Amino acid sequence: MSVDFLIETAKKIQVVINDNSSEIEKLDQEIGDGDHIFNVQRGIKLVIELEPTIKDLIMSKALNQIAMKVLSGIGGSSGALFGTLFMTMAKGNSIDEGIDYKKAIEIFAEGVEAVKQRGKADVGEKTMMDVLIPVSNCLKKGVEDDKDLKEILKEAVEVAEKGMFSTKDLLATKGRASFLGERARGHIDPGARSSQLMIKTVCESVINS
């Protein structure tokens, strides 16, 4: 993984999120306040606009710049949570000495754990953690079992989709959706959907590289 990879993947994610923006906005209007998609789009745009600033930086500094930009530039909980993800990844052990796929999975898993602690959310609470935590566990298990990278990533894509769909029948315990009670059932969480699309894009980008 390189800084160039981060930038190019952000551009691919931007296309995918924009292509699915109407669906995500509708999901959020059903159980949230409708601004999730705009926050996500703004965050991705801010990251891409950092290209001239970060393209020649070492990985830790590039990730930290991304974290600061996301934290300061995105409203709602998304900025704090994604900022935490990147900030934690930036602190990954020895990441400036090179990042192979095992190291990338390790720092991603550390980032997801930090987001879990920051948001005080776990699997089963109808949030993006219903995608991120199972994907993190899947990736770590794949490394432990010494599976082929493409096999690990294909499994992660499937796990992300399963996690996203699982939110449909869950009660929400976080955010505005938590006030809806039973009315939140039957709706996929917008954060889970956007996270699933991002995971799918990243994994497929590596698989096809």
Question: Do 84 and 111 meet the contact criterion of CB atoms below 8 Å apart?
Answer: yes
Query: Can you tell me the distance from the alpha carbon of 126 to that of 185, in angstroms, rounded to the nearest whole number?
Result: 9
Question: Do 109 and 142 meet the contact criterion of CB atoms below 8 Å apart?
Answer: no
Q: What is the pLDDT of residue 78?
A: 77
Both tokens assigned to 177: 């959706």
Q: What is the pLDDT of residue 179?
A: 47
Query: Can you tell me the distance from the alpha carbon of 195 to that of 21, in angstroms, rounded to the nearest whole number?
Result: 13
Question: Do 69 and 57 meet the contact criterion of CB atoms below 8 Å apart?
Answer: no
Question: Do 22 and 31 meet the contact criterion of CB atoms below 8 Å apart?
Answer: no
Both tokens assigned to 68: 């600061």
Q: What is the pLDDT of residue 197?
A: 96
Q: Give, in order, the Cα–Cα distances in Å from 30 to each of 9, 10, 89, 148, 185.
A: 29, 27, 33, 40, 10
Domain boundaries, the chain: 3-207
Q: What is the pLDDT of residue 169?
A: 81
Answer yes or no: pTM beyond 0.95. no
Q: Which amino acid is at 19?
A: D
Q: Report pLDDT digits (tens) over 50-103.
A: 999 999 999 999 999 999 998 888 866 778 888 999 999 999 888 988 888 899
Question: Do 20 and 4 meet the contact criterion of CB atoms below 8 Å apart?
Answer: no
Q: What CATH superfamily is the domain 3-207?
A: DhaL domain (1.25.40.340)
Taking phi first (over 0 means left), then psi (-120 to 50 degrees means alpha), and beta for anything else, what does residue 146 get? left
Q: pLDDT above 90 covers what percent of the chain?
A: 56
Terminal Cα distance for the chain, rounded: 12
DSSP letter assigned to residue 201: H
Query: Can you tell me the distance from the alpha carbon of 175 to that of 140, in angstroms, rounded to the nearest whole number?
Result: 29
Q: What is the pLDDT of residue 61?
A: 95
- 3-state SS record for 166-190: HHHHCCCCCCHHHHHHHHHCCCCCH
Of the candidates 104, 96, 99, the residue with the CA atom closest to the CA atom of residue 64? 96
Q: Give, in order, the Cα–Cα distances in Å from 84 to each of 64, 112, 117, 166, 182.
A: 10, 9, 10, 25, 31
The pLDDT tens digits along the chain (209 residues) read 788 888 999 999 999 999 999 998 888 877 666 678 888 899 999 999 999 999 999 999 999 999 999 888 886 677 888 899 999 999 988 898 888 889 999 999 999 999 999 888 888 888 899 999 999 999 999 999 999 999 999 999 999 999 999 998 866 665 655 545 565 567 788 889 999 999 999 999 998 87
Query: Can you tell me the distance from the alpha carbon of 199 to that of 204, in angstroms, rounded to the nearest whole number?
Result: 8
